[in-house]
Chain A
Amino acid sequence: MKHVLTLLAMAGVFALSNQALAYDGQNCKEPGNCWEAKPGYPEKIAGSKYDPKHDPVELNKQEEAIKAMDARNAKRIANAKSSGNFVFDVK
């Protein structure tokens, strides 16, 4: 019985929060920043089931790859300017 009541109470809370708090994009903290947490969404997701647990080593790989590509491209162009020949392979 207690369980049923608790469930009913919870259902009531959900129904209320759906009406009052559901995220529809209209409440802006400042221009261009209008996200709100949906009902039931934790205030803090670090450690929750939504925590993406990013590995900073993985996240940094893109920036490193672009830096390396830009450096190789710059060598290709410098070489083409000095030799008159475009060579893709960078030794």
Chain B
Amino acid sequence: MQQRIKLAIGALLMGSLSTSAWANAELDALMKDDNQWVMARKDYANQGYSRLSQINKSNVKKLKLAWTFATGVNRGHEGAPLVIGNVMYIHTAFPNNVYALDLDDNQKIMWSYFPKQDPDVQSVLCCDNVNKGLGYGDGKILLQQNNGVLVALEAKTGAKLWDVKVNDPKTGSANTNVPHVFKDKVITGCSGGEFGVRCHISAYSIKDGSLIWRAYSTGADSEVMIGSDFNKENPQYSALSLYEDVNGGNKMGGSFKNLDKAQLKFPEANLGVRTWLKPQQQKDGWQNGGGPTWGWYSYDPKLNLMYYGTGNPGTWNPDVRPGDNKWSMTIFARDLDSGMARWGYQMTPHDEWDYDGMNEIILWEANGKQLASHFDRNGFGYTFDRTNGTLLVAEKMHPFVNWASKIDLKTGIPVKDPKYSTHQDYNAKGVCPSALGVKDEQPAAYSPKNKTFYVPLNHVCMTYEPVESKYVAGQPWVGATLTMFAGPDGVMGGFMAWDGLKGKTQWYNKEKFSAWGGALVTASDLVFYGTLDRWVKALDAKTGKELWRFQVGSGVVGNMITYGHKGKQYVGVLSGIGGWAGVAMNLGLTNDTDGLGAAGGYKELTKYNAAPGGGGMNVFSL
């Protein structure tokens, strides 16, 4: 009898598992339960905020190591584990192993998954063998492997349910992003901005792995999936298709003269094509135009819009790709079901510094407005009306930012300072920030209680010399020589509290190295993050005062999480130095310009870390 009841319940669960409504409702419930950590940044809004408050300002100094887990893998350990019920799911750097640990039984390994990947894929990962983590939905753990394979594993057993190929490393295209589960879809992207990859964002069915839509970052409106109501409230961001299909098009052997509109031809009508002028004898530029999508994505279920940013335009030498290079460096809001873009705002037109626009977009509310904030590599902190893309705030996160004097809020266009422009065969000096930005992948956190953002920062400037380079599919296509060094504060990093409505810093702490670890903020006003010199820290959210620190085995490039188990609050973080800041160290590169310019700037890291960094999970409790 008992057996039969179990079977009946099982069948019921299986039946409901297969409907998208259930996946949505289950995820919603898990996201609302602060004992869980079910998405990369805890919830759809990417806030990295927990209402757990057992660990507070008065007792945090008693925080102790509860347990650790060595992943058995070296190199950069980005992202964070998921916690669902009594199970913690841990991922690693390449080859992207997955472990399910039983929190009820001394973290015993319940199941593990070891992908078999061709080691060649490592040669197309520009900035270390990192992987930003796992997704969960519909009873499945989703893993986006470095080699472009998206895998669905049964959460209970680790059995593989389906796997599909999203990107082909033979053409330089790979993955380091988290597969984000929004409702019944798995959203994934691509890396390859340093390999001339024309990137995309794609939605797969969580049920069976079938492709639902794919939107490219460059090219014709039909392939960028730009809808008829695109930017309708902010037409200054973009001209819609205005031109008729007339033979000839913008193919004048490379002229930059304004052409008669009648000569333009579809798809040249589209900005994703037309802002890639045609200087070269062959093809146009957008076909290998970059716009990688390797960051964190967010989702608003009420508007049914998902948000993400695109990265740098293909090749770092701006002189070979004249034009605004749309839609690289763009924040997009897309309808989750159709994939059509509702609005898109290009932050850095005609990028000259590799300021990838892929950092997270955090959704929040204030004064009755539905907002989205973003801390870009280019050094500006942006706040938008997320319903329509109207730019409300765009301010420098630190005064050392010099490539632009300001962002014109009306037009949305940065006022570039030609002094810090880059040109082929010219060594531009003192450009701030460096190519790895004022903030790279390390996600910020937002406290709805304090209406404040907590942002881990880099404080690095650079010299930048674009050089000639030839595009060959699957080979690096960077075309620039860089050196990086500490900014005017004399350190490499910082951590700040930021008012997203005023665009102002509330408090700011210097850090010896870049703060490459993702932030966590709790309802007890504690802010947690990790550093490259191996510290895990807790600060007072109101003042920035440090209340606790602990030294882990290797530098932290992962994100802090918190969860509750059997009435006890835990905080945890992956350690294992790497990413762009640590890639030169991990590979033993010592020339200043190695590691895309990071080797020189971060050479002191070897005084704090074994190379290559070893991966481990560190969990703390009172």
Same assembly: yes
Interface flags for A48-91 (1: CB within 8 Å of B; 0: not) read 01111111101111110110111011101100110000101000
B residues 315-361 with Cβ under 8 Å of A? 315, 319-324, 326, 346, 349-350
Residues of chain A within 8 A (CB-CB) of B235 are: 31
Check if B10 is an interface residue, CB within 8 A of chain A.
no
Q: Does B160 contact A (CB under 8 A)?
A: yes
Which residues of chain A come closer than 8 Å to B472, judged between CB atoms? Answer: 55, 58
Q: How far is the CB of A87 from chain B (nearest CB, A)?
A: 10
What residues on A are CB-neighbors of B236 within 8 Å?
31-32
What mask results when residues 160 to 203 of chain B are scored 1 for a CB within 8 Å of chain A, else 0? 11111111101101000000000000000000000001100000
In whole angstroms, what is the CA distance A11 to B166 when docked?
Answer: 53
Known: A24-B415, A45-B320, A56-B283. A62 touches B165 (CB 8 A): no
Report chain B residues within 8 Å CB of A24. Answer: 415-418
Taken together as a complex, chains A and B put the C-alpha atoms of A74 and B209 apart, in Å, by: 9
Complex contact B239–A25 (CB within 8 A): no
List residues 3-43 of chain B with CB under 8 A from any CB of chain A.
none
B413 touches A34 (CB 8 A): yes
Contacts A46-B254, A50-B319, A62-B287 given: A32-B416 contact, CB under 8 Å?
no
Q: Inside 8 A of A28's CB, which chain B residues have their CB?
A: 411, 413
Q: Is the CB of A62 within 8 A of B324?
A: no
Residues of A within 8 A of B277 (CB): 35
Please judge, given known A-B contacts A25-B413, A41-B319, A59-B287, whether A50 and B471 are in contact too, CB under 8 Å.
Answer: no
- Which residues does chain B contribute within 8 Å of A2, judged by CB atoms? none
In whole Å, how far is B171's beta carbon from the nearest beta carbon of chain A?
A: 5
B247 within 8 A of A: no
Evaluate whether A26 and B415 lie within 8 angstroms (CB atoms) in the complex, with A32-B239, A32-B346, A80-B208 already known. yes
Residue in B148, B173, B198, B424 whose beta carbon sits within 8 Å of that of A50 in the complex: B424
- Asked if A33 is at the interface of the complex by the 8 Å CB criterion, the answer is yes
Partner of A46, one of B171, B279, B324: B279
A72 vs B258: C-alpha distance when bound (angstroms): 43
Cross-chain contact A51 with B281 (CB below 8 angstroms): yes
A24 to B417, CA, bound (A): 6
What is the distance, in angstroms, from A16's C-beta to the closest C-beta of chain B?
13
Chain A's interface: helix, strand, loop or mixed, by majority? loop
A3 interface contact, C-beta 8 A: no
The interface residues of chain B lying within 8 Å CB-to-CB of A32 are 236-239, 271, 275, 324, 326, 346
**Are B421 and A23 within 8 A (Cβ)?**
yes
Residues of A within 8 A of B171 (CB): 61-62, 65
Complex partner residue of A23 from B170, B256, B416, B425, CB under 8 angstroms: B416
Q: Is A7 an interface residue (CB 8 A)?
A: no
Contacts A32-B324, A37-B322; A76 near B471 (Cβ below 8 A): no
Which residues of chain A are within 8 angstroms of B209 by Cβ–Cβ distance?
A: 73, 76-77, 80, 86
- Bound state CA distance, A61 and B477, in angstroms? 15
Known A32-B324, A34-B349; contact A51-B413, beta-carbon cutoff 8 A: no
Tell me, yes or no, whether B62 is within 8 Å of chain A by CB: no
Known: A32-B271, A45-B279, A51-B279. A69 touches B416 (CB 8 A): no
Whether B257 pairs with A43 at a CB distance below 8 angstroms is: yes
Tell whether B280 is near chain A: CB-to-CB under 8 Å.
yes
Is B173 touching A62 in the complex (CB atoms < 8 A)? yes
Which bucket holds chain A's interface residue count? 35 or more
Chain A residues within 8 Å of B210, by CB? 73-74, 77
Task: Decide if B418 touches A51 in the complex (CB within 8 Å).
Answer: no
Contact: B324 with A38, CB < 8 Å?
no
Contact of B163 among A29, A41, A60, A88 (CB under 8 A): A88
Min CB–CB distance B241 → chain A (angstroms): 12
Whether a CB of chain B sits under 8 angstroms from the CB of A15 is: no
Q: Which residues of B contact A77 (CB under 8 A)?
A: 162, 164, 208-210
> Which B residues, 126 to 171, have Cβ-Cβ distances below 8 Å to chain A?
148, 160-168, 170-171
Chain B residues in 8 Å Cβ range of A58: 471-473
- B471 adjacent to A52 (CB under 8 Å): yes
From B275, B280, B413, A45 is in contact (CB under 8 Å) with B280
B601 to chain A, nearest CB (A): 27
Across the interface, B256 reaches (CB within 8 A) one of A31, A43, A52, A68, namely A43
Which of A25, A35, A65 touches B168 (beta carbons < 8 Å)? A65
A62 — which chain B residues lie within 8 A by C-beta? 168, 171, 173, 197-198, 287-288, 473
A76 touches B164 (CB 8 A): yes
User: Nearest Cβ distance between residue B379 and chain A, in whole angstroms?
Assistant: 15
**Is A22 on the interface with B (CB-CB < 8 A)?**
yes
Beta-carbon contact of A50 and B279 below 8 Å = yes
Of A29, A44, A50, A77, most buried by chain B (CB within 10 Å of CB) is A50
Nearest-Cβ distance from residue A38 to partner chain B, whole angstroms: 6
Complex Cα distance A68/B235, Å?
Answer: 37
B34 to chain A, nearest CB (A): 35
Assess the B283–A33 pair: CB atoms within 8 A.
Answer: no
The minimal Cβ–Cβ distance linking A40 to chain B, given in whole angstroms, is: 8
Once bound together, how far apart are the Cα atoms of A15 and B411, in whole Å?
Answer: 28
Residue B58 at the A interface, CB < 8 A?
no
Residues of B with C-beta under 8 A to A51: 254, 279-281, 320
Report the separation of the CA atoms of residues A2 and B356 in the bound assembly, to the nearest whole angstrom.
47
Q: Once the chains bind, are A53 and B282 in contact (CB under 8 Å)?
A: yes
Which residues of chain A are within 8 angstroms of B271 by Cβ–Cβ distance? 32-33
B205 nearest CB across to chain A (Å)? 9
Q: Indicate if the CB atoms of A86 and B275 lie closer than 8 Å.
A: no
B470 within 8 A of A: yes
A-B contact pairs, 29 of them (CB 8 A): A23-B421, A24-B418, A25-B404, A26-B411, A29-B258, A31-B236, A34-B324, A43-B256, A43-B257, A44-B253, A44-B256, A51-B320, A52-B315, A54-B285, A54-B288, A58-B471, A59-B471, A59-B473, A61-B171, A62-B197, A65-B168, A66-B168, A69-B168, A73-B164, A73-B165, A76-B162, A77-B208, A81-B208, A86-B160
Nearest 7 Cβ contacts at the A-B interface = A22-B418, A32-B238, A45-B279, A46-B254, A61-B473, A65-B168, A52-B320
